[in-house]
Amino acid sequence: MGDAVGQMLVSAVGIAISPVPVIAMVLMLASPRGRADGIAFTASWMVSLAVLVTVVVTLGVGADASGAEGPATWTSWLKLALGVSFLLLAARQWRGRHRDAEGDGMPRWIRAVDSFTPARAAGLAVVLAVANPKNLVLAVGGAVAIASSDATAGGRAVAGLLMVLIASLCALAPLTVYLSGGDRSTRVLAGWKAWMAVHNAAIMATLLVVLGGKYVGDAVSALAS
């Protein structure tokens, strides 16, 4: 199980520190329907990730042509493609770091988040968790890493659960701070929002380079063996 957890950890952290869901959560929690919107967003985010991770891990293990328990060969090719994608995303993040530092890195639609209903908040969570290209690549990459690990079926299940929990901290942490109440929670959330908007590009670029190099190296080693 330790191998599976170690394989997916950086991917999960990469999703967790994404700035858009954190900022969306802060804005929703500041609205009149903050509690309902925040809970709906968080629940939808976690369910969406759980479904995606479960499907990818199941396919990665169950599609093995030999019929034995273990990863399918195509997971190595997918890892290679994901590794290249991570490196390309890292370059894109690095080029956009100055824009984020100036506070212009957030999409325009996020300004309307504070008027969302719980249903729209849940729908937004699905889009950001599994339809956003960066998070989708990270989530699939983490799930493929779990599937291609040497862990048992139970170990992979635990690793998948941990991946969903860690990757959901971008929603769980703001919601927990908000539910704790008090003026301090408002200041803390505002500080997170500002910090994530300014520094996220450089952090994500570093994480993506590490992931890209690791995935390409693992894939080449597996395919060459």
Query: Over pLDDT 90: what percentage of the chain?
Result: 25
Query: How many angstroms separate the most distant Cα atoms in the chain?
Result: 59
- pLDDT class of 65 with cuts at 50, 70, 90: very low
Residue 190 CA to residue 195 CA, distance in Å, equals 9
Q: What is the DSSP string of 119-156?
A: HHHHHHHHIIIIISHHHHHHHHHHHHHHHTSS--HHHH
Least confident of 44-48, 123-127, 137-141, 148-152: 148-152
Q: Which two tokens stand for residue 109?
A: 């639609």
Q: Positive or negative, the Cα torsion across 210, 215, 216, 217?
A: positive
116 or 214: which leads in pLDDT: 116
pLDDT for 180 equals 85
Which of 31, 218, 7, 45 has its CA nearest to residue 124?
Answer: 45
Looking at residues 193-219, what average pLDDT do you find?
77
Contacts of 101 (CB under 8 A, 6+ apart): 198, 199, 201
CA dihedral 77, 81, 82, 84 (to 10 degrees): 140
**Whole-number average pLDDT of the chain:** 82
Indicate whether 188 pLDDT > 60: yes
Residue 200 CA to residue 80 CA, distance in Å, equals 25
pLDDT digits (tens, 9 = 90+) for 5-57: 877 888 898 899 887 888 888 888 888 888 999 999 999 999 999 999 999 98
pLDDT for 97 equals 62
pLDDT digits (tens, 9 = 90+) for 119-134: 999 999 999 998 888 8
Are 17 and 206 in contact, with CB atoms under 8 Å apart? no
Residue 105 CA to residue 101 CA, distance in Å, equals 8
